[in-house]
């Protein structure tokens, strides 16, 4: 879960703050190119990219 990776804690809710896809994509250096966030296909591409990056990160930490 990217919220845990990003690490922004919410004292109010006692858990990590949920982060937007654009924040996750920025964190992992995703290049939107000519795509625009919130376009369904562009969001799918960014989500897949972020998923793969999080999976790689988890494997490196194991």
- Could you list the beta-strand ranges (E) of 1-62: 9-10, 15-16
- C-beta separation of 48 from 56 below 8 A: no
User: What mean pLDDT is reported for the chain?
Assistant: 96
In this prediction, what percent of the chain has a pLDDT beyond 70?
Answer: 100
Is the whole model's pTM more than 0.75, yes or no? yes
Residue 62 is predicted with a pLDDT of: 84
Instruction: Give how far Cα 40 sits from Cα of 33, 36, 46, 47, Å.
Output: 15, 9, 10, 10
Mean pLDDT of 15-39: 96
Q: What's the whole-number mean pLDDT along residues 26-35?
A: 96
**Confidence bin at 46 (pLDDT 50/70/90):** very high
Whole-number pLDDT of residue 1: 86
């Amino acid at each position: 879960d990217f919220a845990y990776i990003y690490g922004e804690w919410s004292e109010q809710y006692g858990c990590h703050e949920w982060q937007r896809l654009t924040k996750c994509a920025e964190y992992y250096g995703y290049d939107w190119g000519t795509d625009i966030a919130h376009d369904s296909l562009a969001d799918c591409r960014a989500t897949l990219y972020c998923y793969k990056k999080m999976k790689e990160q988890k494997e490196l930490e194991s």
